[in-house]
Amino acid sequence: MDIRIPRGTQDILPQEAGIWQFIDQKIHDICARYNYREIRTPIFEQTELFQRSVGDTTDIVQKEMYTFKDRGDRSLTLRPEGTASVVRSYVENKMFGSAQQPEKLYYVGPMFRYERPQSGRMRQFVQFGVEAIGSSDPAIDAEVIALSMEFYREIGLKGLKLVLNSLGDKESRTAHRDALINHFEPYIEEFCSDCQQRLKKNPLRILDCKKDKDNPLMDTAPSILDYLNEESQNYFETVKDLLSKMDIDYVIDPGLVRGLDYYNNTAFEIMIEGEGFGAITTLMGGGRYNGLVEEMGGPESPGIGFALSIERLIMALKTQDALPELQEGIDIYLAAIGDASSQAASELLFDLRRAGVKADKDYMNKKLKAQFKAADRLNAKYTAVLGDNERLAGKITLKEMKSGEQMEISLKDFPEHMKSLLREDAR
Ligand code: HAM
């Protein structure tokens, strides 16, 4: 068989699954503390959803979407990101009508982008994202940013740099757009064909072009920060002020434009500094998207959110040698001698597991010595031996692996006994 895993995807094998579960738990914990509730949306959506929200001129929509026709001739797309789906669901389920606004939501799930795979850039990757929809209080911008920074801090990642920018409101953006057109138009022949198209449709996208990033006109392009009107300026000042009050350091980068079209006002990314991380240094990205809910047919409901990928987080933890040490293993391994005892062990296992004990036994007809080895490999805290003599006497011999201490326990009370032993061990 020569069937291989598709390019840009990965198997998460059991020995790595523990760290994913650990991170999942951290996500649920921090979101509960910040009062964000989980939302789960489909993995595919109507293609138009992403064209309208992420934007027709973005790389994601033009080059990276997994789009297909279903058997009913509908154009569907594997989601390249989560915000569009959350906003669609917010509108479709009339969440804007609920008394509690903003609606604070989070999600964890696979996203799909047809990108050139390299380390930290996958075709299927898992995003953790949050979206707060329904408020334009700058304090919610600060909250969302704080949540992401705290998440990384609690997991143990260091050397993070928060980069901030403001893309301004509609009026500021229009003024900036005109300035960008004036700046690039006389020299647009020097730019790639994508940028030539972007000039009139969405000149901000030129600043995000990977092909033309070294053109000197990029550095001299008009900065959005010089075109912010008073309201946008004040908004940005308040967000910065709140972050400073929370002791969250940041740097301002007027060149941060983000790769999706729905943003305005606050935009941010978290980068990682330090050696050994390669070309991919952006861990997380997000921003404000006032107007997106209206675009999807809902009432005015300003939103803000971020997303980060778990793959890049794990990569960063690995380069910093900061992967958490997880205690993996079972509570007890039941070793049995002979068929009758092996059968009795199966019954006992059932009772142990029902009592909440992590337990296993041999299913490969192994000799006793090999069963002990298996217990070691499984990192069992206890091993119990069940042979004909013990079974007929209604007893079992229990051994604590660390101390080597042995004890005989009545079979009848065994599950309860194990439960209380483990409870004591945990103290
Ligand atoms: P994004 O910047 O396209 O924003 O992606 C956010 C994060 O997803 C990136 O910073 C990176 O960690 C991760 N990511 C993106 N592409 C890949 C890839 N090919 N392989 C591995 N990781 C990747 C969004 O997706 C927006 N929806 C964020 C947002 C939420 N804005 C507002 N709310």
Ligand 1 pocket test, pick from 60, 127, 301 with the greatest ligand atom count within 8 Å of Cβ, gives: 127
Question: 388 lies in a domain?
Answer: yes
Question: 208 lies in a domain?
Answer: no
Q: Which residue has the tokens 């296993």?
A: 360
Position 233 scores a pLDDT of 98
**Residues 260, 371: one domain?**
no
What contacts 359, CB < 8 A, 6 or more positions away? 330, 331, 332, 333, 334, 349, 352, 353
- H or E segment to which residue 363 belongs: none
Ligand 1: does its nearest atom lie under 6 Å from the Cβ of 232? Answer: no
Position 20 scores a pLDDT of 98
Position 57 scores a pLDDT of 86
- H or E segment to which residue 91 belongs: helix 83-92
Ligand 1: does its nearest atom lie under 6 Å from the Cβ of 83? Answer: yes
Question: 250 lies in a domain?
Answer: yes
* Token pair listed for 257: 């434009």
**Residues 117, 233: one domain?**
yes
- Could you tell me the CATH number of the domain that includes residue 259? 3.30.930.10
Position 276 scores a pLDDT of 64
Report d(CA 65, CA 344) in Å as an integer.
55
In the sheet that holds 66-69, the strands lie side by side as 44-46, 75-78, 66-69
Is residue 293 a contact partner of residue 304, using CB atoms and an 8 Å limit?
no
Ligand 1: does its nearest atom lie under 6 Å from the Cβ of 145? Answer: no
Position 273 scores a pLDDT of 79
Q: For ligand 1, what atom is nearest to the CA of residue 115?
A: 19
**Residues 286, 159: one domain?**
yes
pTM for the full model? 0.94
Position 425 scores a pLDDT of 87
Position 427 scores a pLDDT of 86
Question: 94 lies in a domain?
Answer: yes
Position 426 scores a pLDDT of 86
- Could you tell me the CATH number of the domain that includes residue 339? 3.40.50.800
Position 12 scores a pLDDT of 98
Position 385 scores a pLDDT of 95
Report d(CA 196, CA 190) in Å as an integer.
9
CA of 260 to the centre of ligand 1 (A): 10
Report d(CA 209, CA 4) in Å as an integer.
33
Ligand 1 atom 33 nearest Cα: 305
**Residues 248, 338: one domain?**
no
* Token pair listed for 18: 């523990």
Question: 327 lies in a domain?
Answer: no
Structural domain ending residue among the three candidates 296, 319, 342: 319
Position 25 scores a pLDDT of 98
- The residue segments making up the domain with residue 376 are 332-422
**Residues 254, 342: one domain?**
no
Residues (pLDDT < 50) of the chain are none
**Residues 19, 111: one domain?**
yes
Structural domain ending residue among the three candidates 319, 354, 369: 319
Whether omega before 102 lies within 30 degrees of 0, making that bond cis, reads yes
**Residues 140, 247: one domain?**
yes
Report d(CA 39, CA 105) in Å as an integer.
6
Q: Which residue has the tokens 């609606």?
A: 103
- H or E segment to which residue 258 belongs: none
SS3 content of the chain, % helix, strand, coil (to 5): 45, 20, 35
Report d(CA 10, CA 17) in Å as an integer.
12
Ligand 1 pocket test, pick from 88, 282, 283, 315 with the greatest ligand atom count within 8 Å of Cβ, gives: 282
**Residues 240, 282: one domain?**
yes
Question: 278 lies in a domain?
Answer: yes
Question: 203 lies in a domain?
Answer: no
351-388 pLDDT tens trace: 999 999 999 999 999 999 999 999 999 999 999 999 99
**Residues 345, 306: one domain?**
no
Report d(CA 346, CA 336) in Å as an integer.
10
**Residues 385, 286: one domain?**
no
**Residues 149, 285: one domain?**
yes
Question: 196 lies in a domain?
Answer: no
Looking at the structure of the chain, the number of domains it has is: 2
**Residues 45, 116: one domain?**
yes
Position 277 scores a pLDDT of 66
